[in-house]
């Protein structure tokens, strides 16, 4: 709860105390009413209203109306019957105030304001968003014939810290709240405050000249999610000298907003009668996303020669390109690696294996990170399977890890569930990080992903990949699938 919100809560409780226990006194009533109105106006002008505080706003409104009526209504003699009625009214008022105040305290505890952990690298972070159209591919999911495949991407890139200090920080976009709402079925209005949570990203800054060019990583989010779901990992990578390109995939991302005002929302999958039909549908869906990844790399290749905004010309190290993703984005990562050898390494954060990769394995270094809850589902004796588990997963995982021709890592993270690889632990620690410190939760993902790419994209050996670390006791290495070729 922010300072101004605490002030409103305290003023509201004080006003309720005066209303219940003090007799009418015009000057006191005016002072209390003025305080309520002042704090509410201050909150609205200097900060912003948010849904978590709605019960307290109702308290302030009820009390404001009550004080206005007290000042308007003349003083009269109180009979015994009327006095009893007033006691009942005051008791009810006290209960309503306490209940609504408790509601705000609970909501702000469940969905608190927070700050993103500081990136540990030397660079600040700049960004630019781009609308891309692939003229070679028809949009097979559109109802309009002849539509071409369109994407929205954000490119996050290293910036000199002195330059970034002169620019305002970007906040989370509305797409993040929409994605959380879609995944968990929670009203998106509860997450409107996220658009006021600052990141460490600035718009419109020049790329740092500290290095001649920077290695490139593509990021693919989960289904019903957004390219902004893992800003902590993106910021960490960029601060250490990577250019990261976050992709939104229309119809499988939560909501893709285009510059011309169009929005393409997530399209639910049809119901399938057999697991084989669902599996083939996922092969098709991941194939579309893998084609998106290849198209984005083609676009980056053109920009490296001739960028329309002249920001990235000659600055992209396209000999050192990696890709990572979460869930369906992790599946996109594995399939993209199998289809396109321009991608030199990849990390899947609990994604499936649908398509070519399940049959051929990989020739590039690959790291797979799985949550402890999903790992339990791999045990034949466990009948209660995690909802992200599917029957073909175990044989596909075994095929990929045993057929791969390069280094493979298979890590399991205890205390994690499927969405722990995103920023959710910060957004609601009480819901999504019950048994782990939320900042430590974030640090696990960003540290292992960066260590992997530092070793296999930048060629810098990383002790963190050698085995269990006392700093991250939740992370274990599977000895069968963790192999250095």
Q: What is the pLDDT of residues 455-473, one digit of tens each?
A: 999 999 999 999 999 999 9
What pLDDT, on a 0 to 100 scale, did the predictor assign at position 438? 97
What pLDDT, on a 0 to 100 scale, did the predictor assign at position 362? 98
How large is the average pLDDT for residues 96-120?
Answer: 87
DSSP code, position 423: T
What is the C-alpha end-to-end distance of the chain, expressed in Å?
51
Return d(Cα 419, Cα 441) in angstroms, integer.
Answer: 11
Which residue has better confidence, 88 or 438? 438
How large is the average pLDDT for residues 394-410?
Answer: 96
- Which residue from 293, 295, 232, 221 is spatially nearest to 255, judged by alpha carbons? 221
Number of neighbouring beta carbons within 10 Å of residue 271: 7
pLDDT band of residue 76 (cuts 50, 70, 90) is low
Return d(Cα 346, Cα 331) in angstroms, integer.
Answer: 11
Q: Which helix (H) or strand (E) holds 181?
A: helix 174-184
The number of C-alpha atoms within 13 Å of 394 and in the hemisphere containing its C-beta is 9
pLDDT band of residue 275 (cuts 50, 70, 90) is confident
Q: Which two tokens stand for residue 475?
A: 């992370």
List phi, psi (to 5°) of 464: -60, -25
Q: Which residues lie across from 398 on neighbouring strands?
A: none
In angstroms and rounded to an integer, the radius of gyration of the C-alpha atoms of the chain is: 27
pLDDT band of residue 84 (cuts 50, 70, 90) is low
What pLDDT digit, counting tens, does each position of 164-214 carry?
999 999 999 999 999 999 999 988 988 988 998 999 999 989 999 999 999
Cα separation values, 311 from 132, 208, 297, Å: 16, 10, 16
3-state secondary structure (DSSP) of residue 159: strand
Residue identified by tokens 């970034």 is 164
Cα separation values, 422 from 52, 100, 181, 308, Å: 22, 32, 14, 32
DSSP code, position 309: T
pLDDT band of residue 93 (cuts 50, 70, 90) is confident
- Which residue from 200, 197, 195, 204 is spatially nearest to 127, judged by alpha carbons? 204
- Burial class of residue 155, CB neighbours in 10 A (0-12, 13-18, 19+): buried
- Which residue from 457, 220, 461 is spatially nearest to 345, judged by alpha carbons? 457
Return d(Cα 87, Cα 243) in angstroms, integer.
Answer: 66
Cα separation values, 345 from 133, 244, 289, Å: 26, 14, 17
What pLDDT digit, counting tens, does each position of 228-247 carry?
999 999 999 999 999 999 99
Which residue has better confidence, 300 or 42? 300
DSSP code, position 428: -
What pLDDT, on a 0 to 100 scale, did the predictor assign at position 286? 97
Look at residue 270 and tell me whether its pLDDT is greater than 90: no
Return d(Cα 247, Cα 134) in angstroms, integer.
Answer: 14
Look at residue 416 and tell me whether its pLDDT is greater than 90: yes
What pLDDT, on a 0 to 100 scale, did the predictor assign at position 107? 83
Return d(Cα 390, Cα 149) in angstroms, integer.
Answer: 29
Residue identified by tokens 């797979």 is 368
- Between 80-110 and 3-21, two packed helices, what is the crossing angle to 10 degrees? 170
Average pLDDT, the chain: 91
Angle at 354 between CA 350 and CA 360, to 5 degrees: 105
* CA 184, chain centre distance (Å): 13
What pLDDT, on a 0 to 100 scale, did the predictor assign at position 65? 87
Domains in the chain: ranges and CATH: 3-110 (no CATH), 124-477 (3.40.50.1820)
**Lowest-confidence region among 87-96, 157-166, 183-192:** 87-96
What pLDDT, on a 0 to 100 scale, did the predictor assign at position 80? 53
Q: Are 153 and 234 in contact (CB under 8 A)?
A: no
Look at residue 108 and tell me whether its pLDDT is greater than 90: no
What pLDDT, on a 0 to 100 scale, did the predictor assign at position 74? 63
Look at residue 88 and tell me whether its pLDDT is greater than 60: yes
Residue identified by tokens 């399209």 is 267
What pLDDT, on a 0 to 100 scale, did the predictor assign at position 288? 97
What pLDDT, on a 0 to 100 scale, did the predictor assign at position 83? 61
Number of neighbouring beta carbons within 10 Å of residue 6: 11
Look at residue 79 and tell me whether its pLDDT is greater than 60: no
Return d(Cα 219, Cα 79) in angstroms, integer.
Answer: 73
Strand ranges (E), 251-333: 255-257, 263-265, 316-326
- Which residue from 136, 331, 361 is spatially nearest to 249, judged by alpha carbons? 331
What pLDDT, on a 0 to 100 scale, did the predictor assign at position 11? 87
What percent of the chain shows pLDDT beyond 90? Answer: 65
What pLDDT digit, counting tens, does each position of 310-319 carry?
899 999 999 9
What pLDDT, on a 0 to 100 scale, did the predictor assign at position 81? 52
What pLDDT digit, counting tens, does each position of 6-49 carry?
888 888 888 888 888 878 888 888 898 898 888 888 887 777 77
């Amino acid at each position: 709860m922010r300072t101004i919100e605490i002030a409103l809560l305290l003023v509201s409780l004080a006003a309720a105390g005066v209303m219940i226990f003090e007799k009418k006194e015009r000057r006191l009533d005016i002072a209390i009413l003025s305080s309520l109105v002042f704090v509410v106006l201050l909150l609205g002008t200097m900060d912003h209203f948010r849904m978590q505080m709605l019960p307290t706003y109702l308290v302030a409104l009820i009390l404001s109306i009550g004080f206005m009526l007290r000042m308007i209504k003349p003083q009269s003699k109180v009979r015994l019957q009327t006095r009893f009625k007033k006691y009942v009214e005051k008791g009810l008022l006290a209960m309503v105030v306490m209940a609504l105040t408790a509601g705000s305290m609970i909501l702000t505890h469940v969905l608190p304001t927070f700050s993103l952990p500081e990136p540990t690298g030397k660079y600040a972070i700049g960004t630019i968003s781009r609308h891309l159209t692939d003229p070679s591919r028809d949009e097979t999911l559109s109802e309009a014939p002849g539509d071409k495949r369109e994407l929205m991407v954000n490119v996050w890139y290293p910036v000199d810290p002195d330059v970034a200090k002169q620019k305002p920080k970007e906040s989370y976009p509305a797409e993040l709240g929409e994605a959380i709402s879609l995944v968990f079925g929670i009203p998106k209005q509860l997450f409107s405050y996220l658009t006021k949570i600052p990141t460490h990203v600035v718009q419109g800054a020049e790329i740092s000249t500290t290095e001649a060019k920077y290695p490139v990583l593509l990021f693919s989010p989960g289904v019903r999610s957004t390219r902004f779901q893992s800003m902590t990992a993106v910021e960490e990578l960029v601060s250490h000298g990577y250019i990261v390109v976050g992709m939104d995939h229309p119809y499988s991302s939560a909501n893709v907003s285009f510059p011309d005002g169009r929005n393409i929302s997530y399209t639910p999958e049809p119901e399938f009668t057999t697991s084989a039909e669902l599996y083939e549908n996922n092969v098709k869906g991941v194939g579309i996303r893998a084609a998106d990844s290849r198209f984005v790399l083609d676009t980056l290749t053109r920009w490296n020669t001739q960028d329309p905004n002249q920001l990235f010309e000659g600055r992209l190290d396209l000999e050192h390109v990696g890709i990572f993703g979460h869930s369906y984005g992790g599946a996109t990562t594995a399939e993209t690696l199998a289809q396109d050898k321009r991608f030199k390494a990849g990390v899947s954060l609990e994604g499936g294996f649908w398509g070519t990769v399940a049959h051929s394995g990989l020739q590039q270094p690959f790291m797979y990170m799985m949550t402890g809850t999903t790992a339990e589902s791999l045990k034949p004796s466990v009948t209660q399977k995690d909802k992200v588990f599917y029957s073909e997963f175990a044989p596909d995982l075994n095929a990929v890890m045993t057929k791969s021709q390069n280094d493979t890592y298979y890590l399991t993270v205890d205390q994690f569930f499927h969405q722990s690889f995103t920023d959710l632990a910060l957004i609601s620690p009480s819901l999504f990080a019950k048994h782990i410190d939320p900042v430590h939760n974030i640090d696990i993902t960003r540290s292992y992903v960066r260590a992997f790419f530092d070793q296999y994209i930048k060629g810098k050996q990383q002790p963190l990949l050698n085995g269990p670390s006392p700093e991250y006791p939740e992370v274990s290495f599977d000895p069968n699938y963790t192999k250095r070729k």
